[in-house]
Amino acid sequence: MKFDKKLLRALPKVLLHEHLDGVLRPQTMVELASDAKYLELPTNDPQALAHWFHRGANQGSLAKYLEGFTHTIAVMQTEEALERVAYEQIEDLSNDGVVYLETRFAPVFHTKKGLTHQQVVKAVLKGLDRGRRDFGVRSGLIICAMRNMDVSLEMAELAVDFRERGVVGFDLAGEEGGYPPKKHVDAFEYIQRENFNITIHAGEGYGKESIWQAIQYCGAHRIGHGTRLIEDIAIADGKAVKLGDLAQYVLDKRIPLEICLLSNVHTGATPSLAEHPFKIFYQEKFRVTLNTDNRLMSDTSMTQEFEAAADTFGLSLDDFEKITINAMKSAFLPYNQRCGIIYSVIKPGYSKVRDSMYSRMTAKTR
């Protein structure tokens, strides 16, 4: 179905997978670099800088995709910078129809100028809270540990310490190859003992084994990307004919997949949008959600992700409402709060768009 972009932007959206250090406005980057006397930016022209990030990320390699983060992280080393980036993230998403956001980042990368992990997290939460007050977008923060670092237990403890102040979950991110999730099992056992929430990047840069470990060793409640789960599904004539044990488990247990369509093409997780396994996952009723991953690197937005899904897979308004409700069901918020957003924000929002579409159609036939 072909949608008007203005209509897509008006749809209420839930975003569960977006990296704080992958969403900076190019103008903000230039200003923060100037404040920090950071001289390594490839250009100080915001438009050219945006183009540089997108061109660098769109090379079909996760390792290449991650290179741009050297610059974004370099200018996010003060409390003021962290608060500003988080606040602007909320403002930008508010303008894109997002009603609930879970953003994630690795505090360990933001201590180069002497900030403690606690100061880093507090600054981000301050920006998110200010954004909620000004724009009405609710959010939660997810703390990331890195696969190639030996600080995952410390990051897990940090996440739990801030659970009453806006941190909603714990993640494991970074290059998958050579850094299996099970090497960080002590951190995940701690999170489980604390009855806290787990999402893990898996099945993006490595195969279905990574997803299996994330779930069965580490107890993941959601999977970040999960693209390579398609390796456990037999396909014939564009349809699933048999699910392997892992795929069946993910389906049966309703484990959400945080799908990032455009990013997956840019990192090489899938050769093209047309070949993205999203279509199979959705047809087979996996709990899929749509996300941006890194808006700066992938030159995307939730509206663009919705547009790509509509154009490539023929999704309808009903499909988008179902996906959005599934995303809200999968959020790391208490049950009653999730229900509150579904019934007081998402459903009325879709109903309003339907009424608008009907009015326009009726007007055309008169």
The catalytic residue positions are 204
- Contact predicate 62/204, CB 8 Å: yes
222-240 burial, b if ≥16 CB within 10 A, otherwise e? bbbbbbbbbebbeeeeeeb
Q: Are 29 and 71 in contact (CB under 8 A)?
A: yes
Radius of gyration of the chain (CA): 20
In sequence order, which ranges of 11-145 are alpha helices (DSSP H)?
Answer: 26-35, 46-57, 62-66, 69-74, 79-94, 117-135
Q: Name all contacts of 278-282 with Cβ < 8 Å and 24+ positions apart.
A: 278/309, 278/313, 279/238, 279/312, 279/313, 280/230, 280/233, 280/235, 280/238, 280/239, 280/240, 281/229, 281/230, 281/257, 282/313, 282/319, 282/323
The string of DSSP codes covering 331-348 is SSS-HHHHHHHIIIIIHH
Q: How far apart are CA 180 and CA 237, in angstroms?
A: 33
Q: What are phi and psi of 13, to 5 degrees?
A: -130, 150
Tell me the C-alpha distance between 55 and 266, whole Å.
10
Q: How far is CA 199 from CA 107, 258, 301, in A?
A: 17, 9, 22
User: Half-sphere exposure (CA, 13 Å, Cβ side) for 52?
Assistant: 16
Question: Which residue from 234, 285, 287 is spatially nearest to 259, judged by alpha carbons?
Answer: 287
Residue for token digits 């994330």? 214
CA distances 241 to 208, 238, 251, Å, are 18, 9, 14
CA–CA–CA angle 313, 326, 185 (5° rounding): 105
